[in-house]
Structure 1
């Protein structure tokens, strides 16, 4: 694909489509559930496996949304399907494109709620960051999403639907009637790092990831999928056993005292419990390492002592540490660490034998960077002073905004 020149940030409205609420949506059904639904609708048992395979390939490999377009099915059977089922995705209501090529999608789900999805291109490939909940229960004080109350969990259809919508926008489906296109994947990696805590919506996330990994459809390798958790300890073994993807952990602090402030779930599952669960994670090895995410907060968690404590804390765990320069958002009670301080921190971790890449912020101009996602219709009106007070942090310095400063809200 020929690379496009950088695009000035722009919001592109996309029209709504009607729904057929009386019909069962086939998107999001696991293979056994799909087969059972087909049988219940009148598909003979002897044909059910074949029909399941045919529909799976049409929906997830070819991206087809109309039963009429499924040309290897008899006309009568297509009519039967249309009478019982639909193929429906969440509704993409807007797309915002960053100057660096990052795309942020505003996606509306049932009930009128919205989530955000981000595509980050890199050298002809790209990573899609998807959401698992509307809002979040965890209230991590450095995270914009954490200031939005949890509305509800997404369904498996709404989770896998985010992948399919992005493939629509990127033109990644095979073209009907033509030879297979270049196999270079525009969506080569998938990360559950958007809105919400995936392990608090375990069943739907598991089912959606099984669909994404199925070789007859979207066909993403489990090693190309990373689930990010803030540390829901009881669900970590299940994630390894039932999903088997790569694991990332939002660590962000090296003492319980500080992590209790930054990541409040630590009060329930403190560092010692979390690290024990990670050491037992299935398939853990030098080739399948845990990723520790560590957001760099100025004068909060970025000292040399923090770096040395981090190395001691994760000793014995095959891991890499992603250092994330804090991505500021309106009302944030923190500031980004100075670049020299981040590099000094990374150097200590690297010399201890751990990969310590510094993540390049992407999509900051459209509020699509790590920690900035928050659906427009659900934005809380908390100030940085209210957030700091709730977290028990010192009150941030009040900053007078220049009249010519850009409004990123």
Structure 2
């Protein structure tokens, strides 16, 4: 089991740790960690002896291994080593009007999507809620140092958030209640874990949902996203429609464009037919290169052609700005430095 880290404790557990201290100390320490984003050594309203104790008994869960930047410093990727040696990555992206952090929910991923570097690396373990929250805290600190304010959290890093549901939701509650980011600024991405989507719809925070679709017919999606064999497109659509109805949030459909695989005219027509009844917004993402998947992404001209076809079919669509490709920080590239798992030969779709 990984060690308990600084942000793993809830308020009651922190109170138990500080038993014998004045009651207000719990609030001081809790607010220091979550509102001030402070290290215990920086909590000057707390006695020095207690600061030293907190630093010893509540270690950080993320040890910085490497940091890389691109896009003129507007994209930052961190590789963290966790207490048990597992490794994960986090990406902070500054845009003109906002700053967004892409957090990991697992070390590795078991979903086995062959075009994704995380899936190629295989699964190591779930992250704890504290390890997820700490990624947001560390990104918030960096944004503040850059003269910015972190405004959005997307669960689009390593792992499948809804396969680690309890820790993911606990982290979401902490990010919302204690770090102060509203539900409309929190987005959970999934390849289609239908039970998790339905649980998410039943929660009291209407967070955003993004589905990594990549194919709108079951035969192709079975190959690209193996989970589709368990939860096929019709079943996924029902769960997504329920989430939209209950939460009032617009659904996003993510589509990594792969040359000659899912960028054909028929793919555009099928995707539009799938998106329209859900009133979904389609995000097109040219496939980013990964070492374990030799097929190239769609060319810029092909991306534009696919976008126009979607619009002609009545779909709402944008092309996502690709960030961090040069440092392997873009969508589908996070692998924490792991070598890809050997994959069987691939058929042309």
TM-score (norm 2): 0.90
Cα distance in 2 for residues equivalent to 1:171 and 1:237: 35
Q: Which residue of 1 aligns with 2:271?
A: 310
Partner of residue 61, structure 1: 35
1:3 is matched with which residue? none
Q: How many residues align?
A: 345
Of Structure 1 and Structure 2, which has the larger fraction of its residues in helix?
2
Larger radius of gyration: 1
Structure 2 Cα separation of the partners of residues 323 and 330 of structure 1: 21
Q: Does 1:111 find its partner at 2:71?
A: no
SS class of match (2:138): helix
Equivalent residue for 1:232, pick from 183, 193, 205:
193
| Structure-1-length-normalised TM-score | 0.77
The 5 A counterparts of 1:389-408 are: 389=345, 392-394=346-348
1:363 CA drift (Å): 1.0
Distance 1:72 1:230, change over 3 A: same
2:219 alignment counterpart: 257
Tell me, yes or no, if the aligned pair for 2:115 and 2:292 is still in contact at 8 Å: no
Residues of 2 paired with 1:394 and 1:79: CA distance?
59
- Kept in 2: contact 1:327–1:364 (CA 8 A): yes
Aligned residue for 1:316, secondary structure, equals helix
Could you tell me which runs of 5 or more consecutive residues in structure 1 were left unpaired when the two chains were aligned.
Answer: 1-20, 174-181, 396-409
Q: Deviations over 1:294-353 (max 9, x none)?
A: 011111111111111112123321210000001112242321112222212212222344
Aligned-partner Cα distance in 2 for 1:125–1:359? 15
From 325, 329, 332, the counterpart of 2:293:
332
Provide the rounded CA distance (Å) in 1 between the counterparts of 2:207 and 2:69.
Answer: 29
Counterpart of 2:241 (choices 249, 274, 279) is: 279
CA contact (8 A) 1:92 1:165 kept: no
CA distance in 1 between counterparts of 2:240 and 2:264 reads: 25
- CA change 1:41–1:57 in 2 (3 A) is closer
Q: Identify the residue that residue 42 of structure 1 maps to in structure 2.
A: 19
Matches within 5 A, 1:71-90: 71-73=44-46, 78=50, 82=54, 85-90=57-62
Deviations 1:243-282 (A, max 9, x none): 5310000000011000000000001111111000001015
Q: Which runs of 5+ in 2 are unaligned?
A: none
Q: 1:136 aligns with which of 93, 109, 115?
A: 109
Residues 207, 249 of structure 2: 8 Å contact kept: no
- RMSD over aligned CA atoms reads 2.6
125, 129, 134: which is aligned to 2:98?
A: 125
C-alpha distance in structure 1 between counterparts of 2:71 and 2:54, whole Å: 42
